[in-house]
Structure 1
Amino acid sequence: MQTSTIHPLWCIEQSHFDPQTQRHWETVFTTGNGLFCARGVFEEGYRGEERAAFMHGIFDDVPVHFTELVNLPDALELEIFLDGERFSLGQGEILAFHRWLDMRTGLLEREVHWRSPRGRTTRLHFARFISLADPHLMIIRFSVHPLDYQGEIEVRAGLNGEVDNLQFKHWDWQAQATSQQQAWLVCSTRKTNLPIALGAYLHVESHTIVERAGWDVRNHPVLVARTLASPENLISGEKIVYIYSGREAPNPQDVVQSRLAQTHAPLWEQAWSEHARAWEREWDACDVIIEGDEEAQRAVRFSIFQLLIAAPRQDEKVSIGAKTLSGYGYRGHVFWDTEIFMLPLFTYTRPEIARNLLSYRWHTLDGARRKAQRNGYKGAQYPWESAATGDEVTPTWVPHYADPTQLIRIWTGDIEIHISADIAYAIYQYWRITGDDAFMRDRGAEIILDTARFWASRAEWNPNLNRYEYTNVIGPDEYHDHVDNNAYTNYLARWHLQIALNILEWLRDHAPDRHADLIHRLELTPAELTRWQDVIHKLYCPLDPQTGLIEQFEGYFQRKDVRLADLEPRNVSIQVLFGIEGANETQAIKQPDVLMLLYLLPELFNAEVVHANYAYYTPRTDHTYGSSLGPSIQAIMACRVGRPDEAYEHFMRAARADLDNVRGNAEDGIHGASAGGVWQAVVFGFAGLQVSETGWGLKPALPSHWKRVAFKFMWHGQSICTEITPHSPPSIHQVIS
């Protein structure tokens, strides 16, 4: 079987097998199509692996975490027996190993030269893709070439329903059937009763007779093919898999059976051409070209690829979790990571996907209303962690990272409230960039207005200081909890209330019926709107006019100042080093709250304020081991203060987060926010794309060794091509559709 041509700037490679890093590579080699993703595990399995595949929207109840994305029944399973010996990298001798991901097409390949315990050598090749053109299809292609023996080759292709989520089982068996070349399996989640159906077709090509059988093992049907192979006659084949859940089809079993009945193998070439064309269209819209830095080029494409394979194209009732669909981290829950860090890539390049992601928040608005009501507030308060319904699913207690016998109280679900403004911000940015008035009228406005009601009712009047405040909160910097007047939270809340009033005026002028409907349903009385104005004018938003500094939260400047540079070298976060309470007592921060504020609302602050706060907060930020969300924003702000080479250092921290496993936790899944931040750092930082009410412009600040940056973005339905080189004005032209 021919392998694909490797293009270095599109390729992620693993040149040798190391069991100690296997779970990291499983995350890196995740493939998918926006409906489901599979971790980069070996088809035949390996001891200690974290074997998992996840599909959007398939949640089920679980202790502690409320609900979690469910590990799908295993459709990758493909075991090979070589003249009676099971092929496994856990035994025998690996003479050569090479695995690579072609990011242009989402093709994952592996080639192994293996000597068995009995001394027989075989070359095996595996390739698989999850179709972007046919979202319910996955194909595994394989070849087996004995090098110094001849004998029987047995291939076993299973559908295994006996899977779990880190030892917690979610699936109940429902039905199955097996024939000589086809098998199907139906399971349903235990609490949420979501059915899923999987079908498999095994095709094997050989120069000799192929014997076929189906083993109808309960909850684990297996297709078996046996044939002879020799150095002169290798064998090859395909495992064709279909996956449907009850969310896409009322009766997924019928759909899978129908597709199996219509399958004519081999299918790879036909399915591949459609899949490759679909990926070509994606990259035409989303690719970022960097000349002069191969590592950065690969890392940017890797970040974009990981977001594209997690992006829902056919479903507007799901969103991308913090760990995408690549691992168990955060149990598939959705955070602000999506709206603030991942969404801009889609808003600027694939607005249809951005619309789906924002529509998820509209479909879960009732969950946000329930949270506000439970907490005693008006309107809608979005949960810190969200899943299927939009109700709060942040765990209250989790085991301590250093001592699992102890529990840590998690406060983010209670008091990290800025997420409601983050969502409003993302909606407003989407509208401004796309001009999608229909979305704002029908969905976005309702979200912005009802969450504004929350902010107005949550504001606390301080009669001694004659101002409104937000006390007992957590800002983006989670090293500090139970703080008052977090600057990021207060400024975003004020912005949110003002934008809500602006949107209300826009509705009155452009959609009077919708305006009247929302005024009535959301109880936007004159008294309510007067309170909004009062909060806007009297909300405490700190800014020292003498120094230009914005205090991150009230009393922050009085906390112990720690020179982080004096603590080097280290390989743990400040919170691990000092303890949770110890870190809380210092000025060391997990991520740059204030710089994030300056980034999101640049129109509010002059250059002196930006420079002053960059200089103050940069040395106090735990850049390497704090939050993975911070380095990309730090890079953008470094560009804005004229330090592109310093920005590059922060950018590469984000770019290497998963590829180099910088924080040692990549096995839990892709850092989706970091991936989105990498794209933003290039486009909004180094390229200097800035958008305002009147249009957009470029203020480049390229690293000294970069020779060229090029990318496309969408502006009000038009595709704009940009090209930036160090010593020439940016080249910009509009693509005519």
Structure 2
Amino acid sequence: MNLDYIIPNDWSIIEERFDPSHVKASESLFSIGNGAMGQRANFEEKYSGPTFQGSYIAGVYYPDKTRVGWWKNGYPEYFAKVLNAPNWIGINVFINDEGLDLHTCRAIENFRRELNMKEGWLSRSFVATLQNGIKIEVNTKRFLSLDLDELGAINYSVTPLNSNASITYRPYIDSGITNEDTNWDDKFWDTLNVSHENNQAFIQAKTMKTDFYTCTFMESQVFIDGKSILVNPNINADSNSASFSYNYEVKQNETYTIHKFGGYTVDRNHDKYELVTAAKSVLEKATKSGFTVLLEAQKNAWSKIWDMADITIDGDVKAQQGIRFNIFHLNQTYLGTDARLNIGPKGFTGEKYGGSTYWDTEAYCIPFYMATKDQSVARSLLTYRYKHLGKAIENAEKLGFTNGAALYPMVTMNGEECHNEWEITFEEIHRNGAIAFAIFNYYRYTGDYSYIPEMGLEVLIGIARFWHQRATFSTDKNKYVILGVTGPNEYENNVNNNWYTNYIAQWCINYAVENIERVASEFSTDYTRIMNKAKLSKAEVKEWKTVADNIYFPYSKKHNVYLQQDGFLDKELITVSDLDKSQRPINQKWSWDRILRSPYIKQADTLQGFYFFEDQFTTEALERHFDFYEPFTVHESSLSPCVHSIQAAKLDRMEQAYTFYLRTSRLDLDDYNHEVHEGLHITSMAGTWMSIVEGFGGMRVKNNALTFEPRIPKQWDGYSFKVNFRNQILKVNVCQGHTHFELEGNEDIEIVVNDKAVSISPNNLVTVLED
């Protein structure tokens, strides 16, 4: 079912009725995070209906042993998974000894849930009639602090409406939890100690195998009509949990409130023997400030993020809500404050994909973080890959490659490959190209070349060595071919000469050679260090060039297009428009065998190459390839619509570009792929940002300067965005008929708009009329 219950709103995600069939989807959509931890929007009180409980700590994972029917050489031994962490948000609520449970209430009225993206908080309110006849009003609000990123805060209030009531709050922490996504139902957590004192409780636990030590903590305060009261709690603790019971006789229309502070301290940031001490320090800051002060700090922190990252859209509320939803979740997932972390495709919203790092980071996320924060954040993401170069070389060695060839993992937590589907683990090798492209893209955008001699060139050498060895010389074609691969389009496995893979392999080798020559010329000390470390000779580089200069690209003279792979024209070429809608999505309706024999494309494949390497192709060539491949594309990957939106805008097909934009921006809000209950598509959200900035805004970096070709959908009155380009912040405001540019900085900047040079001075509005 497509979701249709989310209320259109500029700044909030809102639902206004309780429907048990929506609970899991809403738990994903209303998820909150602060970069260091995150959680699905589970109810604080007990809910006995279908639910997907999930709280997650960044960087804490478990190596879940691979489960396959037939082991293959080179398979990773485990799939690393972000763990469902001990639960700290729980507050069981009892009204005259009956537990509050929305699944069993006699009636639920005025249910409303809001995720306020502007200020960074989640609220819920409703009126419930329990089986015992007591009618109550409930109001909750919670957030994960950006300023104190080990802390979360909850304000939970109950007002009895039709009689006095004995109300008990029972806040708890619990380490007896499991992952929904587990291969062998292993025990992931070992609880070491449960302790409590005063109104504080602590659970010390460590992960099995990986030995991450954590402390889950809580402290609570209670209030009547906003005034603090002292209630001595009853305490209950066992081997995995601790709870406090705060009972109070509440008069009709009085409001009984609990403030609960909780969260995690982790040995990634503290000595493992000092985690409780660190937790006490966090709680002291929390209780000293109080919920209201902490909430104001939260609003201020989000205000600073939005000041740089916001995109405004005038005249289209659904489009506005969509882009802010995407930007909000990107910032909840990763803020660039910890270089040890990366961006998982589901972020903190679910367990699919294990919370691991994919090629999505380099291909889609780095542009967003470069432009909306500063270059240090993007550099940290590149440094993350450099630190994993040794593991990438090990990954390649396991598959039989030698001499320092590097194959970056498809899925990883620590640099080791941990994906265990052979057609992806062994064959979706184009991911190597995304790593190299990100290095190129970073330098192109920031102008900071220092990363390459310091770290990046070693990465490029390892990648070039891999492509050199992965290519095979075909005497029949008198060319080098790359056999047995899966391109970005995962609906074609084990194909030969995937055009995108062959093209990016050639580009990687040439880019590595180009930078070897530049570092040799301009950074002689680094060059000597790197050549000695890599044991790279001129003869080897010459061998790489032989491969790059003679690589094979499948081409159809009949259609005048590059073929996605050698056998594409052998398929029955029925377009998506002629496919019965009842068969969609095909990944949920068809056997895998049928999908592989079909012409249908999961995501941009050949067109992904045209997106990355736009400057190397004419607009006419793009148009031919777009017209040939788009009709066969089902867009059942979250990474597909954004690329098509950008390219449709470049071709000035604005209606099509707008349709693709809505699909990428509201992919989760409208549940296009019928899977939002599993979690959100975080990394593709960066593609939504690109759809506006690179698509409609036409922003590129050419000849060391920002260029724009602004376009605007007819559905919009205007839109605006900011980019941080080389430490100067440029605001772009596109309206029907003209575009405003405004510069925050100290020096003039030269840009190009519709092929014409434009000079912009700081704090001086420049207007460019549409041609």
Judge same fold: TM > 0.5, yes or no: yes
C-alpha contact (below 8 Å) 1:688/1:701 kept by paired residues: yes
What amino acid is aligned across from residue 722 of structure 1 in structure 2? V
Match of 2:362 in 1: 339
Kindly indicate whether residue 456 of structure 2 is the aligned counterpart of residue 432 of structure 1.
Answer: no
Match of 2:711 in 1: 701
Which one of the candidate residues 691, 696, 717 is aligned to 1:686?
A: 696
Kindly indicate whether residue 275 of structure 2 is the aligned counterpart of residue 257 of structure 1.
Answer: no
Which one of the candidate residues 410, 414, 420 is aligned to 1:385?
A: 410
Match of 2:28 in 1: 27
Match of 1:300 in 2: 323
Kindly indicate whether residue 520 of structure 2 is the aligned counterpart of residue 518 of structure 1.
Answer: no
Match of 2:260 in 1: 239
C-alpha contact (below 8 Å) 2:732/2:739 kept by paired residues: no
Kindly indicate whether residue 199 of structure 2 is the aligned counterpart of residue 198 of structure 1.
Answer: no
C-alpha contact (below 8 Å) 2:173/2:242 kept by paired residues: yes
C-alpha contact (below 8 Å) 1:62/1:68 kept by paired residues: yes
Q: Alpha-carbon deviations, 1:626-653, whole Å to 9, x = none? A: 2121111111111111101111111212
What amino acid is aligned across from residue 26 of structure 1 in structure 2? E
Distance of aligned partners of 1:635 and 1:595 in 2 relative to their CA distance in 1, 3 Å threshold: same
Most deviating of 107-116 and 441-450: 441-450
1:575 is displaced (CA, Å) by 4.5
Match of 1:145 in 2: 159
What amino acid is aligned across from residue 416 of structure 2 in structure 1? D
1:543 is displaced (CA, Å) by 4.8
C-alpha contact (below 8 Å) 2:472/2:482 kept by paired residues: yes
1:224 is displaced (CA, Å) by 2.2
Give me the identity figure in percent.
27
Match of 2:64 in 1: 62
Distance of aligned partners of 1:668 and 1:391 in 2 relative to their CA distance in 1, 3 Å threshold: same
C-alpha contact (below 8 Å) 2:423/2:485 kept by paired residues: no
Match of 1:13 in 2: 14
Distance of aligned partners of 1:703 and 1:259 in 2 relative to their CA distance in 1, 3 Å threshold: closer
What amino acid is aligned across from residue 163 of structure 2 in structure 1? Y
Kindly indicate whether residue 185 of structure 2 is the aligned counterpart of residue 173 of structure 1.
Answer: no
Match of 1:3 in 2: none
What amino acid is aligned across from residue 116 of structure 2 in structure 1? D
Most deviating of 173-182 and 70-79: 173-182
1:577 is displaced (CA, Å) by 4.4
Q: Alpha-carbon deviations, 1:219-265, whole Å to 9, x = none? A: 20112212221124312221011311111112223311333456535
Distance 1:412 1:371 in 2: 14
Which one of the candidate residues 360, 366, 390 is aligned to 1:366?
A: 390
C-alpha contact (below 8 Å) 2:150/2:282 kept by paired residues: no
C-alpha contact (below 8 Å) 1:343/1:354 kept by paired residues: yes
C-alpha contact (below 8 Å) 2:358/2:412 kept by paired residues: no
Distance 2:727 2:558 in 1: 44
Which one of the candidate residues 210, 216, 222 is aligned to 2:231?
A: 210
SS in 1 for 2:450: helix
Match of 2:72 in 1: none
Most deviating of 493-502 and 251-260: 251-260
Distance of aligned partners of 1:391 and 1:727 in 2 relative to their CA distance in 1, 3 Å threshold: same
Kindly indicate whether residue 573 of structure 2 is the aligned counterpart of residue 561 of structure 1.
Answer: yes
What amino acid is aligned across from residue 36 of structure 1 in structure 2? M
Match of 1:403 in 2: none
1:694 is displaced (CA, Å) by 2.5
Q: 5 Å matches for 1:542-621?
A: 542-543=554-555, 547-570=559-582, 572-621=584-633
Which one of the candidate residues 100, 123, 132 is aligned to 1:118?
A: 132
1:27 is displaced (CA, Å) by 0.5
Q: Alpha-carbon deviations, 1:473-530, whole Å to 9, x = none? A: 0101111111111111111111111111222223223322111111111122111111
Distance of aligned partners of 1:690 and 1:263 in 2 relative to their CA distance in 1, 3 Å threshold: closer
Distance 1:12 1:550 in 2: 43
1:180 is displaced (CA, Å) by 3.4
Distance 1:159 1:112 in 2: 25
What amino acid is aligned across from residue 38 of structure 1 in structure 2? Q
Match of 1:310 in 2: 333
Distance 1:246 1:574 in 2: 44
Distance 1:519 1:383 in 2: 21
Q: Could you tell me the TM-score, scaled by structure 2's length? A: 0.90
Most deviating of 85-94 and 232-241: 232-241
Distance 2:518 2:46 in 1: 57
Distance of aligned partners of 1:185 and 1:342 in 2 relative to their CA distance in 1, 3 Å threshold: same
Q: Alpha-carbon deviations, 1:662-700, whole Å to 9, x = none? A: 111111111123311111111111111112243121112
Distance 1:631 1:467 in 2: 34
C-alpha contact (below 8 Å) 1:287/1:711 kept by paired residues: yes
Match of 2:75 in 1: none
Match of 1:636 in 2: 646
Kindly indicate whether residue 280 of structure 2 is the aligned counterpart of residue 279 of structure 1.
Answer: no
Match of 2:755 in 1: none
Distance 2:457 2:297 in 1: 38
SS in 1 for 2:392: helix
C-alpha contact (below 8 Å) 1:371/1:382 kept by paired residues: yes
Distance 1:216 1:28 in 2: 33
C-alpha contact (below 8 Å) 2:488/2:605 kept by paired residues: yes
Distance 2:646 2:36 in 1: 32
What amino acid is aligned across from residue 737 of structure 2 in structure 1? H
Distance 1:708 1:50 in 2: 39
Distance of aligned partners of 1:180 and 1:149 in 2 relative to their CA distance in 1, 3 Å threshold: farther
Distance of aligned partners of 1:82 and 1:571 in 2 relative to their CA distance in 1, 3 Å threshold: farther
Distance 2:21 2:661 in 1: 27
1:202 is displaced (CA, Å) by 0.5
5+ unaligned residues in a row in structure 2: which ranges?
1-6, 67-77, 747-761, 763-771
Distance 1:629 1:262 in 2: 41
What amino acid is aligned across from residue 243 of structure 2 in structure 1? V
What amino acid is aligned across from residue 234 of structure 1 in structure 2? T
Kindly indicate whether residue 245 of structure 2 is the aligned counterpart of residue 227 of structure 1.
Answer: no
5+ unaligned residues in a row in structure 1: which ranges?
1-5, 397-409
Distance 2:604 2:285 in 1: 55
Most deviating of 605-614 and 723-732: 723-732
Distance of aligned partners of 1:575 and 1:175 in 2 relative to their CA distance in 1, 3 Å threshold: closer
Most deviating of 418-427 and 462-471: 462-471
C-alpha contact (below 8 Å) 1:160/1:220 kept by paired residues: yes
Most deviating of 266-275 and 159-168: 266-275
Most deviating of 136-145 and 252-261: 252-261
Most deviating of 176-185 and 124-133: 176-185
Distance 2:284 2:121 in 1: 26
Most deviating of 133-142 and 532-541: 532-541
SS in 1 for 2:108: strand
Q: Alpha-carbon deviations, 1:160-190, whole Å to 9, x = none? A: 0000112543111111211231111110001
C-alpha contact (below 8 Å) 1:575/1:582 kept by paired residues: no
